[in-house]
Amino acid sequence: MKRELKKVLGAALVAAVFLIGMALPASAAGPAQKNLILATTTSTQDSGLLDVLIPVFEKKTGYFVKTIAVGSGQAMAMGQKGEADVLLVHSPDAEKKFMTEGYGVNRLIVMHNDFIVIGAPADPAAIKGAKSTVEAFKKIAAAGSLFLSRGDNSGTHAKEKGIWKAAGINPERQKWYQQTGLGMGQTLNVAAEKKGYTLADRGTYLALKKNLGLEILKQGDPILLNVYHVIPVNPAKWPKVNADGAKTFSDFMVSAETQGIIKTFGVEKYGGALFFPDAGKKEDDLGK
């Protein structure tokens, strides 16, 4: 019996050495200052764009990028606390506030795509014929059709709130208005399951389309423009921020090579570009 126990202990010891041995190389991934924390929106990860761009960047520069995919709101909150080095976000009004408060340096335009209003093909609120997106939202409210909101302070959520405001409707606490509190991909899944309407960015929608059974019901309205900016976090506020890495990353995002990758990303798989490169352009000139 004693031997039994010794065997068990021996096995545990071997397991311990094995596990710790394996854990070592994982925790020794380059010097600390090489680490770069990128806080970004779920759409850039869920669409798969970052899976293409990040390895190129890492190979080129030797930085190790820790991509934290959250909503734009949370990404900027991380930047405000100095817990991220660089942001890739799409919530222009909140970004401008972020910049005026001095949390970021040198906000650069990277790319755009557009938001689209998605819903079941049956279109119970008949928004397909609506003249504008604001009109479509009014119809959804009037019909009391289920609308799924991200509800997570993401860029998409901010845009959606803007449209409700333009429509003069306060959807909060309405029976037909539900907040998922989830990322874009998961919110689309919820909308598909419940056959509700939702506002989505085109990139994530195209990437998920095959399983959804939802249709684009409203698109092409200037209000639906979705612009992504890269913002290095201000090192003057937070000395621990990796300023060099952030600068390198934002230069990389607007470089000709990266812009070329963005232009062709998803074309083969989805039959159309998911994002349109915009480096050097002015935000106001987009969508004209």
- Return residues touching another protein (CB under 8 A): 1, 4-5, 8, 11-12, 15-16, 19-20, 22-23, 26-27, 29, 32, 35, 37, 42, 45-46, 48, 51, 54, 64, 66-69, 81-83, 182-186, 188-189, 207-208, 210-212, 238, 240
Is 5 or 256 the residue whose CB approaches another protein more closely? Answer: 5
Is 176 or 238 the residue whose CB approaches another protein more closely? Answer: 238
With tokens 């600390």, the residue in question is: 32
Kindly state the smallest distance separating residue 23's Cβ from another protein, in Å: 5
SS (H, E, C) the chain: CHHHHHHHHHHHHHHHHHHHHHHHHHHCCCCHHHEEEEEECHHHHHCCHHHHHHHHHHHHHCCEEEEEECCHHHHHHHHHCCCCCEEEECCHHHHHHHHHCCCECCCEEEEEEEEEEEECCCCCCCCCCCCCHHHHHHHHHHHCCCEEECCCCCHHHHHHHHHHHHCCCCCCCCCCEEECCCCHHHHHHHHHHHCCEEEEEHHHHHHHHHHHCCEEEECCCHHHEEEEEEEEECCCCCCCCCHHHHHHHHHHHHCHHHHHHHHHCCHHHHCCCCCEECCCCCHHHCCC
Is 26 or 256 the residue whose CB approaches another protein more closely? Answer: 26
CB 201 within 8 A of CB 113: yes
Is 177 or 205 the residue whose CB approaches another protein more closely? Answer: 205
Is 118 or 188 the residue whose CB approaches another protein more closely? Answer: 188
Kindly state the smallest distance separating residue 34's Cβ from another protein, in Å: 11
Kindly state the smallest distance separating residue 20's Cβ from another protein, in Å: 7
Kindly state the smallest distance separating residue 234's Cβ from another protein, in Å: 14
Kindly state the smallest distance separating residue 58's Cβ from another protein, in Å: 10
Kindly state the smallest distance separating residue 228's Cβ from another protein, in Å: 18
